[in-house]
């Protein structure tokens, strides 16, 4: 199918979806509880908007189609997750895992679904660091609790995308070219015809992936974790056993909860990056980060210093709670926040000038992940981050999908809480968040970017909530991060000479710029709870799009 034909098909889908939506509207609601539910959200009985922000336009369209046809935010999130695994095979997919936060609305507490990869229960390891994938069971678990549409229906758009193909972007071309050195090119003629990577505008068709998705449609998670797919997976990744696949379990957790700019901040608990993210925001607020507005050297320096102290705190305290005791409440308490502020130097680099990068993933700078946000017309919101860790994960290809290399996120030190152990989840910076200010607004946000996620999301939220910038301007604002190993400041755009000079005077060894794809991929939606209107954004640095409709 050509790009034009595919776009035509999508247009028809949208029209049909709109028809279904207006039918839903015309039949009305006679349920007083439903009216009360809408009023309790602050919509005043009005029909609110609904929307999707994701890292790829085709995935955004898939999610909007589900919402048009009466599916809820979780239904759409499942469909978007599978679609992103097709159109962004370098960033997520059924060979990986992720974390999803579901806010049901009406003042209820969010729930976190942890379907991240784990190490083999046998203790076997491999240089490729492949973990037991959790994606498929994760989608099944969240669907069981919140789904309203049949799973097969939600996977179907991804089957079509895999079979019919889609047009590659410049980002796709770059990923294929830059990862070719470690890809099994001979096994991938659909990606590397005659040994050469596809280019921008070429159509990528993934017939083997379509067949596996059809099997999951028919047999559910068992179609992936048992039978022929499981056997082939184990053959390709001998460090994983059939028993590992059978024993894998999705975890349901309470989020950790902090405060920033008048919002309750809900983030995933350990071993995800929620504690570090909440610490970053709370320390920034305690240090009056709003005073750095219009002062780029101060903003860059303060952001870097806060990141360093939260990184260090995480390093010595955070691991998988099933294996180590993590003092979560203490780490995000007001008292501990004030303690961390004392480690931040306002005018010079802190005394402990350099920190060692703790994991192979940090050293290799894994930043290939995907984030999306969905909100439905009833006020349910989903914020989710899925990943295979490095580009195309480990590069190991199993009949249509790539296996992750998530176990490279374990600490390199055997003395730290994030050390490798059998059956353990490694630490991850992935932090799908939901922020809520009662009666006013709620925000879903997160990012790709590996060890840069904390700074990237933190900088966007500071610009939006502390500086008062629009979401669009907050996303476009130049980002920076500090290279912990050598105190190099890496900035997205060239600093004015005065800013660079000030940073060098503060002790930074070098100032440099980097390509825009190195600064995460933030997707976000903000809901005005007083009128149901949405404001959102998809990161302009990659291929993201966002849409909202009434």
SS3 sequence, 136-193?
A: HHHHHHHHHHHCCCCHHHHHHHHHHHHHHCEECCHHHHHHHHHHHHHCCHHHCCCCCH
The gap from C-alpha 86 to its chain's centroid, in whole angstroms, comes to 16
Identify which has the larger pLDDT, 48 or 382: 382
Could you write out the DSSP letters of every residue in 7-68? HHHHHHHHHHHHHHHHHHHHT----HHHHHHHHHTTSTT----EEEEESSHHHHHHHHHHHH
Residue 148: C-alpha distances to residues 70, 151, 508 (Å): 9, 9, 53
Determine the average pLDDT of the residues in 62-70. 97
State whether CATH 1.10.246.130 applies to domain 272-364+443-525: yes
pLDDT value of residue 20: 39
Q: Would the pLDDT of 23 be above 70?
A: no
- Least confident range from 31-45, 65-79, 88-102, 147-161: namely 31-45
pLDDT value of residue 48: 66
Identify which has the larger pLDDT, 37 or 187: 187
Label residue 46 by pLDDT band (50, 70, 90): low
pLDDT value of residue 352: 65
Two tokens, residue 377:
């017309």
Label residue 39 by pLDDT band (50, 70, 90): very low
Residue 320: C-alpha distances to residues 324, 367, 412, 448 (Å): 6, 21, 15, 21
Q: Would the pLDDT of 7 be above 80?
A: no
Tens-place pLDDT, residues 498-521? 999 999 999 888 887 777 778 999
pLDDT value of residue 447: 97
368: β partners: 389
Determine the average pLDDT of the residues in 200-221. 98
Q: Give the relative orientation of helices 207-219 and 227-236 as an angle to the nearest 10 degrees.
A: 130
- Least confident range from 68-77, 261-270, 380-389, 481-490: namely 481-490
pLDDT value of residue 69: 96
The distance in angstroms from the start CA to the end CA of the chain is 31
Catalytic member of 99, 337, 341, 369: 369
Determine the average pLDDT of the residues in 319-338. 98
pLDDT value of residue 349: 85
pLDDT value of residue 492: 87
Pair 326, 318: CB distance under 8 Å: yes
Determine the average pLDDT of the residues in 105-130. 95
pLDDT value of residue 356: 77
The DSSP 8-state label assigned to residue 517 in this structure reads G
Identify which has the larger pLDDT, 26 or 168: 168
Task: Name the CA radius of gyration of the chain, rounded.
Answer: 22
Give the three-class secondary structure for 389: strand
Q: Would the pLDDT of 161 be above 50?
A: yes
pLDDT value of residue 24: 34
Pair 439, 530: CB distance under 8 Å: yes
Q: Which residues does 436 contact at the CB level (< 8 Å), separation at least 6?
A: 103, 263, 264, 266, 442, 443
Q: Would the pLDDT of 95 be above 60?
A: yes
Q: Would the pLDDT of 6 be above 90?
A: no
pLDDT value of residue 96: 98
Q: Would the pLDDT of 17 be above 70?
A: no
Determine the average pLDDT of the residues in 362-389. 94
pLDDT value of residue 494: 84
pLDDT value of residue 29: 30
Tens-place pLDDT, residues 408-461? 999 999 999 999 999 999 999 999 999 999 889 999 999 999 999 999 999 999
- Least confident range from 40-49, 60-69, 189-198: namely 40-49
Q: Which helix (H) or strand (E) holds 264?
A: strand 263-267
Return the domain boundaries, the chain: 3-25+35-252+371-409, 272-364+443-525
Q: Would the pLDDT of 18 be above 50?
A: no
Q: Would the pLDDT of 236 be above 50?
A: yes
Identify which has the larger pLDDT, 64 or 17: 64
As a whole number, the mean pLDDT across the chain is: 90
pLDDT value of residue 11: 41
pLDDT value of residue 365: 85
- Verify whether residue 310 is a known catalytic residue: no
What is the dihedral angle through the alpha carbons of 393, 481, 461, 377, rounded to the nearest 10 degrees?
-20
Nearest Cα to Cα of residue 374 among 22, 17, 100? 100
């Amino acid at each position: 199918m050509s790009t034009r034909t595919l776009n035509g098909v999508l247009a028809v889908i949208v029209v049909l979806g709109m028809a279904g939506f207006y039918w839903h509207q015309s039949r009305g609601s006679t349920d007083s509880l439903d009216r009360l539910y809408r009023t309790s959200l602050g919509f005043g009985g009005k029909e609110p908007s609904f929307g999707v922000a994701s890292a790829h336009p085709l995935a955004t369209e898939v999610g909007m189609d589900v919402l048009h046809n009466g599916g809820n935010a979780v239904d759409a999130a499942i469909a978007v997750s599978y679609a992103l695994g097709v159109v962004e095979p370098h960033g997520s997919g059924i060979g990986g895992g992720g974390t999803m936060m579901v806010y049901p609305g009406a003042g209820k507490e969010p729930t976190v679904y942890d379907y991240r990869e784990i190490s083999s229960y046998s203790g076997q390891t491999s240089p490729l660091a492949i973990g037991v994938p959790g994606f498929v069971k994760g989608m099944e678990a969240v669907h069981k609790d919140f789904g309203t549409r049949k799973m097969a229906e939600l996977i179907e758009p991804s089957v079509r995308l895999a079979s019919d193909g889609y047009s590659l972007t410049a980002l796709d071309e770059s990923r294929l070219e830059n990862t070719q050195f470690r890809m099994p090119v001979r096994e991938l003629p659909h990606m590397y015809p005659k040994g050469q990577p596809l280019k921008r505008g070429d159509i990528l068709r993934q017939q083997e992936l379509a067949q596996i998705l059809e099997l999951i449609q028919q047999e559910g998670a068992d179609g992936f974790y048992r039978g022929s797919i499981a056997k082939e997976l184990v053959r390709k990744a001998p460090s994983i056993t059939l028993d590992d696949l059978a024993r894998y379990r999705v975890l349901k957790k309470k989020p950790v909860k902090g405060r920033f700019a008048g919002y309750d901040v809900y983030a995933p608990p350990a071993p995800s990056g929620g504690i570090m993210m909440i610490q970053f925001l709370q320390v920034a607020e305690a240090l009056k980060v709003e005073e750095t507005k219009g002062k780029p050297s101060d903003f860059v320096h303060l952001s870097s210093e806060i990141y360093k102290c939260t990184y260090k705190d995480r390093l010595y305290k955070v691991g998988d709670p099933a294996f180590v005791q993590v003092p979560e409440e203490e780490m995000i308490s007001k008292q501990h926040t004030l303690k961390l502020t004392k480690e931040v130097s306002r005018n010079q680099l802190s005394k402990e000038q350099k920190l060692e990068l703790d994991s192979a993933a940090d050293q290799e700078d894994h930043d290939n992940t995907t984030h999306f946000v969905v909100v439905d017309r009833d006020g349910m919101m989903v914020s989710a981050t899925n990943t295979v860790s490095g580009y195309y994960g480990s590069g190991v290809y199993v009949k249509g999908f790539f296996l992750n290399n998530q176990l490279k996120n374990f600490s390199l030190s055997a003395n730290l809480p994030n050390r490798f152990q059998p059956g353990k989840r490694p630490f991850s910076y992935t932090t799908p968040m939901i922020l809520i200010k009662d009666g006013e607004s709620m925000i879903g946000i997160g990012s790709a970017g590996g060890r840069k996620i904390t700074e990237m999301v933190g900088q966007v939220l500071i610009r939006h909530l502390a500086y008062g910038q629009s979401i669009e301007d907050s996303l476009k604002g130049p980002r920076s991060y500090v290279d912990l190993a050598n105190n190099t400041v890496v900035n997205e755009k060239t600093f004015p000479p005065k800013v660079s000079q000030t940073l060098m005077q503060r002790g930074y060894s070098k100032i440099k710029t980097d390509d825009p794809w190195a600064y995460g991929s933030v997707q976000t939606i903000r809901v005005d709870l007083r009128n149901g209107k949405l404001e959102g954004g998809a990161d302009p640095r990659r291929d993201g799009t966002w849409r909202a409709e009434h």
